[in-house]
Amino acid sequence: MLYALPPLVAEPIFYIQSFPVTNAYINSTIAVVLFLIAGFLLRKKTAMIPRGFQNFSEAVIEFMLSYIDQVTHDRKKSLKFFPVVGGLFLFILVSNWLGLIPGTGSIGRYLLMHGEIELIPLLRPANSDLNMTVAMAVFAVVLSHILGVATIGFFKYANKFIKLGDLYKSFGKGGISIMTAVIEFFVGFLEIISEVAKLVSLSFRLFGNIFAGEVLLTVLAGLIAYFLPLPFMFLELLVGLIQALVFSMLTLVYLTIATTPVVSHEEHAEAHPG
């Protein structure tokens, strides 16, 4: 029997008043609960000489911090960004891998959908729901702006996009300074457009890869249920890791760039005369 391809939109399993609890939301909730359990165990059994799960967790944290250091080149910044970047990486990774658990997409309940009784899976990969990936992308980009303003100040940060200050100063110098300031002023508008592009690229890249993998596994399971899907499931493990790494590392780059002051041409000339 051929399996029905998963729809683009996550299906609601039940409602809490008017709030729909979708199968993708259930998957993400399971991931969060796993992290809560892990945090509780680490907090309860923390020892000076780490062993077992604590030793593994500390090794993972140190490994991720070393990678973050390669981007920030500053351990203080790395520690500041780690809860966000590390949290996103682990959440996306675990959510992606939970979507490969046997029964995901095939075990469900029969509900009335579109005028017909259909089998609705109880579990669906969280990141195959565009709502989830867009929410994480908005969180990452908005947080980068908040930290940028908090780090270098509102006006200096706003000058990255709307360069009215540089344009005003250039009129007192004339010549090439005005031309450069005008060009940078319009480049600032392109920077605003690029911020919107960040949201689109972050959310749709993750959603597209995870949803495509879900469709591929569904098609293969419908053709031959045994053995054939196994190599592709191992491939999806790798894809889940890569997508978690790409999303978190891009977030790290956005945070690092946003909190790095921009040196204008005038400041650069004053710092390096001649």
> Any idea which residue has 């392109």 for tokens?
190
Cα separation, 205 vs 237, whole angstroms: 17
pTM above 0.85, yes or no: no
- Residues 233-246: pLDDT tens digits? 788 888 889 999 99
Residue pair 69/132 in contact by the 8 Å Cβ criterion = no
pLDDT (0 to 100) of residue 102: 74
Widest Cα–Cα separation across the chain:
78
- Residues 96-132: pLDDT tens digits? 998 888 777 677 777 766 667 777 788 888 898 999 9
Element (H, E) at 219: helix 176-223
